[in-house]
Amino acid sequence: MKRVIKISLTVIVVLLIIIQFIPRDHNESEAMPANDISKVYAVPVNVGDILKTSCYDCHSNHTEYPLYSWLQPIRLMMDRHVSKGKEELNFNEFGTYSSRKQRSKLRAIGESLDEGSMPLSSYSLIHRTAILSTKDKATLMNWVKQNSDSPLLKN
């Protein structure tokens, strides 16, 4: 029985070492794109700060990767999560959305705030700074309501 456990542990360790060589996605664009939501809508500094702190890691072209993310399979899970988040909403590409889609996405942000579904609990469990206070939620909600029914405000 001890031999089976020893072999099993060896196989697990070898697999963990091997998966470290799986290529990683790099969602680390440095430039602020022309289609960023802040270039398309008048985004107050406090709203922009909240979005960057609580949303941009998963919903933009730049993720601040924590040290532990360099380990597989954690990085694979993060890459998949970021990919899905960007597919749903990408603040850096917001200007490429049609006006109708932009308003729809803003309304969806409001719904997520109402439901408390964003940021995900699995994300905020580790990233405590991403947790939205009641004041942050109210600030975002007011901004979303002002902009989801208004025409596009180009800078």
pLDDT digits (tens, 9 = 90+) for 77-128: 888 888 899 999 999 999 999 999 999 999 999 999 989 888 888 788 778 8
- Kindly state the tokens that stand for 1: 């029985």
Tell me if 60 is assigned to some domain. Answer: yes
Tell me if 154 is assigned to some domain. Answer: no
Tell me if 15 is assigned to some domain. Answer: yes
- How many domains is the chain built from? 1
Tell me if 155 is assigned to some domain. Answer: no
**Contact residues for 34 (Cβ-Cβ < 8 A; gap 6+):** 95
Residue 136 has a pLDDT of: 94
Tell me if 153 is assigned to some domain. Answer: no
Residue 155 has a pLDDT of: 40
Tell me if 47 is assigned to some domain. Answer: yes
In this prediction the pTM is 0.77
Q: How far apart are CA 33 and CA 138, in angstroms?
A: 27
Q: 86 lies in which domain range?
A: 2-148
